[in-house]
């Protein structure tokens, strides 16, 4: 398909932020789940930052799991995400395969959210998100997603450096 210079390419229609949070944070291995709409870290993290529920607070930093994303701005070391609410420092660990995004809130709280793959069937995604946000949940991210592999779920409890993460 060819387009003329004046013809616009169709853009993907975005839906509201797909997030489920556990109301009693820190009661299990997860504090909820987030179901992004693509694998583009810049777009999805900006959406998360801009539309995160106000009663919970403002995101001041985030730590992401690299295998969940196709486009990671500034590879090999991502340092910030530009959002309407401002710039947020980000980081990751090179071998992190936890399927988590760890949010540091302006209040100092830290939330660990399961990242549900964007192409997950809606019914399955809703089920996974509900279970991740259930304060009785004891399953780790890989178990909820039905993935095999070693458990790195404690990685979100580590502290990354002031520059936003490891390179």
Q: What is the pLDDT of residues 135-165, one digit of tens each?
A: 889 898 999 999 855 444 444 444 444 344 4
pLDDT at 96: 78
pLDDT at 12: 64
Domain boundaries, the chain: 19-146
What does each C-alpha distance from 108 to 26, 57, 60 come to in angstroms? 13, 10, 9
Q: What is the mean pLDDT of residues 116-126?
A: 95
pLDDT at 22: 86
The edge-to-edge listing of strands for the beta sheet with 80-83 is: 19-21, 32-34, 110-115, 100-105, 59-64, 86-92, 80-83
Residue-wise pLDDT tens digits, 81-91: 999 999 999 99
Structure tokens at 33: 């789940």
For the chain, the farthest-separated pair of C-alpha atoms sits apart, in whole angstroms, at: 55
Higher pLDDT, 105 or 5: 105
pLDDT at 131: 94
Structure tokens at 3: 């387009």
Give the three-state DSSP class for 50.
helix
pTM, to two decimals: 0.77
> Which among 13-27, 86-100, 124-138 has the top mean pLDDT?
124-138
Q: Among 4, 69, 75, 67, which residue's Cα sits nearest to residue 40?
A: 69
């Amino acid at each position: 398909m060819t387009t003329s210079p004046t013809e616009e390419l169709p853009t993907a229609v975005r839906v509201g932020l797909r997030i489920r949070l556990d109301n009693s944070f820190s009661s299990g291995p997860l504090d909820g789940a987030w179901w992004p709409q693509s694998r583009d870290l810049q777009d999805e993290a900006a959406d998360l930052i801009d539309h995160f529920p106000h009663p919970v607070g403002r995101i001041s930093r985030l730590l992401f799991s690299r295998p969940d994303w196709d486009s990671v701005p500034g590879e090999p070391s991502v340092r910030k995400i530009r959002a309407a609410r401002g710039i947020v420092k980000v980081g990751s660990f090179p071998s992190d395969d936890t399927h988590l995004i760890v949010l540091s809130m302006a209040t100092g709280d830290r939330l660990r959210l399961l990242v549900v793959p964007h192409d997950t069937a809606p019914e399955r995604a809703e089920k996974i998100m509900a279970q991740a946000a259930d304060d009785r949940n004891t399953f780790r991210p890989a178990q909820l997603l039905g993935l095999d592999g070693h458990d790195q779920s404690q990685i979100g409890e580590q502290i990354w450096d002031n520059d936003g993460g490891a390179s």
